[in-house]
Structure 1
């Protein structure tokens, strides 16, 4: 089996790690609030999501939003504005709580009772690589039946765990799996 790439891009190839493309697609499926947190509307939407119940508040607190209830009420009423650091905490807490909330639903949709989900893997971009150094890499599809480790790592925002879980799935491509460690895009739907 091939080893992982140690000097990716040395000859001009362009792409991202496959697990990052998968995380980006899972983020798109999670359906985050589209309005940026820096806009008043986006901030209010995130704060309402994080404070709609006692359970949601507890999860937001565990995710790093540690301001008092009085401060939250002032932000919601528009009497005060959060600092830049607190805006980042709100965004981070919102993404963490949203991922936890949609994980079970996504996992059920992706696993589809053992049938799995078809994944399209678009190879890396070699347009800047000299012709003699280019590899013959083609568009591939793969049916992933067990998404548990990938989704768990995505929820935990565990980069290394996500990479390991993704590599465990793409080894099913056979001896060429190392060519798909870096990709331009990974597409799937749930």
Structure 2
């Protein structure tokens, strides 16, 4: 049943892919610097995070922040400011490095020594779909015990891998699991 929603939204249904909702929730749980990257305090804090060790600097370079040490030093001292393109690179590198650093701890919290974490799936919004075309889709909850593939794909930034891992997980919902390929939100706590 998955991948049958090739024309999702054709009749007015609204929602996002379940794997995207999971990624958003994992990003929220990972936390991080709340100040926007467009504010000096925000990009300075991100740069400090990305340059605090050699391992962090290497991960930042792998994530796309390729500037010279001289430029980096000028930014950190406040002598120069990064361009909009470099601000985007700083933010993307920060998110990638933060995901890698938090993934192991988050995985341990979500797996809870084999007990897993309760997940709530809120169905897609059909308020704009004509009545005869609406299908019965209800709120569902399930316990996910193995988060390894989901968190691994999220930490690596692998959207296709995350989508495949999430689809393999929601099969546990039963024969109607394909109806939850798109949803309004996915909620869980760790």
Q: TM-score range by the shorter chain?
A: over 0.9
Match of 2:99 in 1: 99
Give 1:155 shift: 1.0
The yes-or-no answer on 1:35 pairing with 2:27 is no
Give 1:62 shift: 1.8
Structure 2: distance between partners of 1:178 and 1:149: 20
Structure 2: distance between partners of 1:46 and 1:25: 21
Give 1:3 shift: 3.7
Give 1:60 shift: 1.2
What are the superposed Cα offsets for residues 114-158 of structure 1, whole Å, 9 maximum, x if unpaired?
A: 111000000000001111111111100010011111111111111
Matches within 5 A, 1:105-124: 105-124=105-124
Give 1:57 shift: 1.3
| Number of matched pairs | 189
Match of 1:26 in 2: 26
Structure 1: distance between partners of 2:168 and 2:65: 34
SS in structure 2 opposite 1:155? Answer: helix
CA contact (8 A) 2:37 2:91 kept: yes
Give 1:65 shift: 1.2
TM-score by length of 1: 0.97
Match of 1:161 in 2: 161
Give 1:32 shift: 2.2
Give 1:53 shift: 1.5
The yes-or-no answer on 1:133 pairing with 2:133 is yes
SS in structure 1 opposite 2:136? Answer: coil
4+ runs of 1 displaced by more than 2 Å? none
Match of 1:184 in 2: 184
Structure 1: distance between partners of 2:15 and 2:63: 31
Match of 1:57 in 2: 57
Match of 1:152 in 2: 152
Structure 2: distance between partners of 1:22 and 1:106: 13
- Which ranges of structure 1 fall in alignment gaps of 5 or more residues? none
Structure 2: distance between partners of 1:3 and 1:186: 17
Worse-superposed segment, 54-63 or 104-113: 54-63
CA RMSD of aligned residues (A): 0.9
CA contact (8 A) 2:2 2:181 kept: no
- Which ranges of structure 2 fall in alignment gaps of 5 or more residues? none
